[in-house]
Amino acid sequence: MAGVGKPLQGQNVLVTGASRGIGAAVVRQLAREGAVPIIQYGRDQAAAEQLLEEVGAGVTLQADLSDPMGATRLWEQARSKAGRIHALVNNAGIRTEVSIEAGLQAWQSTWQKEFRVNLFAPADLCREAILHFSEHGGGKIVNLASRAGQRGYAAEAMAYGATKAALNNLTKSIARNFGDKGIFAVAIAPGWVFTDMAKGYIARFGKQAAVADIPIGEMALPEEIAEVIAFVLRSSQHSLNGATLDMNGGSYIR
Ligand code: NAP
């Protein structure tokens, strides 16, 4: 039987933004550790299906998380495919730049979309997960926050930093309020991670601009983040509830 004897055996895990980057690495790691991934993608169906073929078990689901009903529909589809869901990894995210000189329309539309994808969709999924976990004996939520939400962020991407600070706070509120129902929430706060999101920044400003204030001189790899998320989802881990796990090479130490 698939996953027997592995740490995440028997867990169905919904991973958003899993067609590439951190989300795809999370899916690979979870599958290696015995979980069955529910692989959400936005636009890249081919990448999601190729990933499913690679890991051998699970399902792919399309959802546009910039649509106000996208997250709720995704949860319903995931429930109808998997039945019981044991964990949610809110990983999908966007990082959009808009300067304060850009004009009000561009400013407002960037802030609205950033909050829709990075906070409101994860919040809707958290709500669904809490309701489901309350009825079925518990479950875990992992939210991909960011160092940007902890220390403040670049002038041209302040909306991104604000969404991540709010997501971090939501994670803490879930941990404080629903632990007695067996519901556990953790935020992961990486600095730069070497994915398309970082590559876009490097293409414009150069790698040195990204790593200059990282003491280890390197971005994290998606696989490092994935290993930690898989560890958090082990059934042996309870007391991490409410933690924000910093993964930033020493560039923000609390
Ligand atoms: P990425 O490589 O840019 O991938 C983003 C993922 O999100 C893709 O799978 C994409 O799906 C999905 N997505 C984006 N917009 C969507 C939408 N409207 N509806 C549905 N899905 C959507 O990102 P990443 O670097 O792996 O980042 C993953 C998470 O970690 C994000 O929350 C990010 O903020 C956070 N993070 C990243 C870094 C970093 O340096 N990379 C640092 C700290 C935190 P499709 O491609 O299929 O559309």
What are 193-241's pLDDT values in tens digits? 999 999 989 998 999 999 999 999 999 999 999 999 999 999 999 999 9
Nearest CA to ligand 1 atom 29: 91
Q: How far is the CA of 197 from the centre of ligand 1 (A)?
A: 7
Strand, helix or coil for residue 240: coil
CA of 148 to the centre of ligand 1 (A): 15
Residue 72 one-letter amino acid? T
**Inter-axis angle of helices 70-82 and 121-135, to 10 degrees?**
30
Contact of 213 with 171, CB cutoff 8 Å: no
- Nearest ligand 1 atom, CA 192: 40
Residue 70: its pLDDT value, please?
A: 98
Question: How are strands ordered across the β-sheet holding 59-62?
Answer: 59-62, 36-41, 12-15, 87-90, 139-144, 183-190, 244-247
For CA atoms 202, 207, 211, 213, the dihedral sign is negative
What pLDDT, on the 0 to 100 scale, is given for residue 92?
A: 98
The pTM score is 0.98
Read off the amino acid at residue 61. Answer: L
Residue 236: what pLDDT? 97
Cα 24 to ligand 1 centroid, rounded to whole Å: 10
How far is it, in rounded angstroms, from Cα 168 to Cα 165? 5
The answer to whether 165 touches 212, Cβ cutoff 8 Å, is no
pLDDT, tens digit (0-9, with 9 covering 90-100), for 20-69:
999 999 999 999 999 999 999 999 999 999 999 999 999 999 999 999 99
| Residue 148 alpha carbon, nearest atom of ligand 1 | 43
Give me the pLDDT at residue 2, please. Answer: 54
Q: Does the structure show a pLDDT above 90 at 3?
A: no
Query: Could you give the maximum distance between any two Cα atoms of the chain, in Å?
Result: 58
Confidence of residue 115 (pLDDT cuts 50, 70, 90): very high
Give 137-187 pLDDT, tens digit per residue. 999 999 999 999 999 999 999 999 999 999 999 999 999 999 999 999 999
Judge whether 222 and 194 are in contact, CB under 8 Å: yes
Decide whether any atom of ligand 1 lies within 6 Å of the 42 Cβ.
yes
Mean pLDDT, rounded, of the chain: 97
> Which domains are delineated in the chain?
12-245 (3.40.50.720)
| Ligand 1, pocket-test mutation among 147, 195, 219, 225, most atoms within 8 A of CB | 195
Which of 185, 117, 91, 192 lies closest to 147, judged by CA? Answer: 192
Q: Are the CB atoms for 243 and 172 separated by under 8 Å? A: no
Which of the listed residues 52, 73, 91, 126 should we mutate to test ligand 1's pocket, taking the one with most ligand atoms within 8 A of CB? 91
Report the pLDDT value the prediction gives residue 103, as an integer from 0 to 100. Answer: 97
Average pLDDT over residues 120-126: 99
pLDDT at 1 over 80: no
C-beta of residue 188 within 8 angstroms of C-beta of residue 231: no
Would the CB of 60 count as within 6 Å of ligand 1?
A: no
Q: What is the pLDDT of residue 46?
A: 98
Residue 184 bridge partners (DSSP): 140
Residue nearest to atom 36 of ligand 1 (CA): 146
Q: Is 12 in the pocket of ligand 1 (CB under 6 A)?
A: no
Dihedral, 67, 72, 76, 82 alpha carbons, nearest 10: 90
What span, in angstroms and rounded, lies between the C-alpha atoms of 17 and 35?
17
Contact 251, 215 (CB under 8 A): yes
Q: Is the CB of 225 under 6 A from ligand 1?
A: no
pLDDT of residue 6: 97
Of all atoms in ligand 1, which is nearest to the CA of residue 147?
Answer: 43
Ligand 1: distance of its center to the CA of 20 in Å?
8
Q: Ligand 1 in contact with 196 (CB < 6 A)?
A: yes
